[in-house]
């Protein structure tokens, strides 16, 4: 019995910390930021109203910003489109380029100085900066058209809980 308890104690001291190491190594924080919401008329307003459905369907755009280990940032663009009865469908759009700029000041005459441009959907934060210290301009393609959006994660924003 003592040997079994000793084995369990040894395994517990080795295995349980190992289970938490992967969380510490790949600590992720995900911020879901709504960029805009648009109400559009349904395709057939008269039919929708005769059936008692909502006349508008919604479309909203989101930036999903995932920070790994406080240094690596991955951005994804998502669009949610609701049909006339209220069911939603999500469409993800891969980001093709990111411009990371020092976000400490905002001025209408600012010409985006102190920026770095990276191809792809992942960037590394500058040394000494957090996700709250910079702004991101990113490009993505939806329906054959290339768009650019800007997002900055405010210090008041909390990451999504898992």
DSSP letter string, 60-102 = EEEEEEEEETTTEEEEEEEEEEE-TTS-EEEEEEEEEEEEEEE
Q: For residue 128, what are the CA distances in angstroms to 71, 131, 150?
A: 9, 10, 22
| Residue ranges per structural domain of the chain | 27-151
**Architecture label for domain 27-151:** Sandwich (2.60)
pTM equals 0.69
What are the structure tokens assigned to 162, written together?
A: 């898992």
Distance CA 151, CA 139 (A): 11
Q: Please report, in tens digits, the pLDDT of each residue of the chain (162 residues total).
A: 555 555 555 555 544 444 444 444 558 999 999 998 766 544 545 555 555 554 445 788 999 999 999 999 999 999 988 877 778 888 999 999 999 998 655 555 556 668 899 999 999 999 999 999 999 999 999 889 999 999 999 999 999 876
Please state the separation of Cα 27 from the chain's center in Å: 15
What are the structure tokens assigned to 147, written together?
A: 């768009």
- Model pLDDT for residues 100-137, shown as the tens digit of each residue: 998 655 555 556 668 899 999 999 999 999 999 999 99
């Amino acid at each position: 019995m003592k040997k079994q308890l000793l084995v369990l104690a040894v395994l517990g001291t080795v295995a349980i910390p190992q289970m938490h190491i992967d969380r510490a190594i790949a600590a992720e924080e995900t911020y879901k930021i709504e960029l805009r919401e648009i109400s559009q008329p349904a395709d057939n307003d008269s039919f929708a109203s005769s059936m008692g459905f909502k006349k508008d369907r919604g479309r909203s755009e989101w930036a999903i910003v995932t920070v790994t280990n406080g240094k690596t940032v991955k951005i994804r663009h998502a669009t949610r489109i609701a049909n006339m009865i209220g069911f939603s469908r999500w469409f993800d759009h891969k980001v093709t380029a990111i411009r990371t700029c020092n976000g400490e000041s905002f001025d209408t005459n600012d010409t985006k100085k102190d920026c770095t441009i990276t191809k792809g959907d992942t960037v590394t934060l500058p040394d000494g900066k957090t996700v709250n210290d910079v702004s991101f301009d990113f490009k993505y393609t939806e329906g054959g058209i290339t768009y650019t959006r800007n997002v900055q994660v405010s210090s008041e924003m909390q990451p999504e809980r898992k």
